[in-house]
Amino acid sequence: MLTQTTQTSFDFTFAPPAGVRSVSATRRKTSTKRRFTDAELRAAVSRFGDDDELIASHLRTSVTDVHRRRKKLGIAKVTWTLEARRRLFLMATRTPRPTNAEIAREFGCSVGAIETALSRHNISRGGVSAGPAKPRNLSAKVEKRCMRCKGPFVPAHRHNYMCNGCRAEVANMAA
């Protein structure tokens, strides 16, 4: 008569041979980022302003880490108040006009922030645009020439290039 035995637990341990590193140790990446304290971040912000790239290089960490920690601490970046917009306007219309990098250094922020502010507040590179941007009237009906029969027609939408008669003929040909 055969008896069946079952093993309930397994005790396997694996140790690599001497002088061989384990697989997990070879795949493990070591981080080059350095941890920094809140006080170090505040000191870097007071020294470098809002230029997160400079702050990150000073603290030897990534820009993303600086963004996250600033958000957590509530350290605000440049807020475009009326006074800040006036300063930006005066700097952008000065002759000779300073570069965006020089303006960013003056404001203590990144070049991208200056470019975005110039665009949002309608200040062009050569000075200021003529007033606020005028919205285009996309619903205005402009007479076009039909691309098939060359006759004039008023399209229902701006991307219509054939009159209703030609469009009907083409639809009948396709059917």
**CA dist., res. 43 & res. 18, Å (int):** 48
8-state DSSP, 124: E
Q: What is the pLDDT of residues 48-99, one digit of tens each?
A: 877 788 888 889 888 888 888 887 887 767 778 888 888 888 888 888 888 8
pTM: 0.39
Check residue 133 and give left, alpha or beta (phi > 0: left; psi -120 to 50: alpha): beta
Q: What is the pLDDT of residues 11-25, one digit of tens each?
A: 566 666 676 665 555
Q: What is the pLDDT of residues 120-131, one digit of tens each?
A: 888 765 554 445
